[in-house]
Amino acid sequence: MFHMFIHSPPARRSVSRIYREKHPFGPFLFEGAEHESNSISIQVNESAPENFRQIRSICRGSLRVLGPTSDTTPSSLMVALIPFVDETQALRRICQTAQLEIPTVFYYIGVDKRTLLSQLRSLILDAEAFGEESGTWENRSGYFLNGRRLFVPAGIDLAEISSETSEEGYRTLGFGIGTEIVNLYNFGTGNAIIGNFLDPLSFFHVLNNSVLHDGRPALAEGPEINSWMKIATNRILFTFRDEWNDDIHDGTLVNLTADGTTSTYTLSINMLGTIAALEGTTFEMVIQDKKISRISDRESPV
């Protein structure tokens, strides 16, 4: 039912020769300053076989073009995939069992416009959602590029990663997992994706070790897959929300104790409320004098 968002090399091939991580989800250092990202950024070697430049549909769903990633990269698009009802129900069951926030939308950042249109041409021409009056290719492709939804099957190649993202011999794809229902029609060129987000590495670890209601592996490629996960930064992350599941308030202090060692963090509205913890096995969190306790396994995650 579910698939990786990029192709995985054969078991005998080194993942690091094809992919590398530009930056992880959450906090990361760049040129000496700390930044935070709501997506993971994966780079693919330009010298690798062409199929590794392809992005894939994680599941069945409706695909929408949100617009160019910036004014200077008109052929590098941001697109969103919203899972269908059956896929959403499967995600809800899997994520609630793992006490993980439930994905509502998958974002691909750095998608090549030309190959997106050419590889989805038959679906665009057959799309009933565009209506019979928009029968020409020019009209239908125009509707699609302007944000009309296109139904896509699971596990197909959608497009290449845009060459406009190329640097130092690598193309770059951003991949984000939103956990809120957002209005995707209000996007414009260069708009940032908003709302709350889930760590892709954590999500795929859960998906990789889950089964569907009929006993099949949730991840079609199977649990022994030789994937991008091998080159991703594996960290312990904590994400904070306020009582209405909004971004954390500016200046909120958090004390995080890992195996007896305490670190203090000041959360900011300019960040996403996610911190990377020191390595450890036991953790205690205090948010401005309020201790946080793990919820019961019988309760739904919050």
Mean per-residue pLDDT for 157-163?
A: 98
The three-state secondary structure class of 105 is strand
pLDDT of residue 232: 92
3-class DSSP state for residue 133?
helix
Query: Which band of pLDDT confidence, cut at 50, 70 and 90, is reported for residue 173?
Result: very high
What pLDDT, on a 0 to 100 scale, did the predictor assign at position 238? 80
Q: Is the model more confident about 41 or about 266? A: 41
Q: Output the pLDDT for position 73.
A: 87
pLDDT surpasses 60 at 245: no
Query: Model's pTM, two decimal places?
Result: 0.85
Comparing 88-102, 199-213, 216-230, which segment has the lowest mean pLDDT? 216-230
% of the chain surpassing 70 pLDDT: 80
Averaged pLDDT for residues 79-102: 94
β-pair partners for 256:
263, 285
Per-residue model confidence (pLDDT) at position 196: 81
Residue 301 DSSP class: P
CATH class of 236-302: mainly beta
> Coil, strand or helix: which one is 65?
strand
Mean pLDDT lowest for which of 66-75, 163-172, 215-224, 279-288? 279-288
CATH level 2 (architecture), domain 15-234: Distorted Sandwich (2.70)
Tell me the range of 145-149, 259-263, 276-280 where mean pLDDT is highest: 145-149
Q: Which residue has the tokens 């609630």?
A: 96
Q: Which residue has the higher pLDDT, 117 or 221?
A: 117
**Spatial contact of 131 and 155, defined as CB atoms under 8 Å apart:** no
Q: Which amino acid is at 246?
A: D
Residue ranges, CATH 2.70.70.10, the chain: 15-234
Tracing tokens 């995080």 back to the chain, one arrives at: 256
The three-state secondary structure class of 45 is strand
d(CA 171, CA 152): 24
By the 10 Å C-beta count (0-12 exposed, 13-18 middle, 19+ buried), 55 is classed as buried
Interacting residues of 288 by C-beta distance below 8 A, sequence separation 6+: 252, 253, 254
- pLDDT score, position 247: 55
Residue extent(s) of CATH 2.60.40 domains in the chain: 236-302
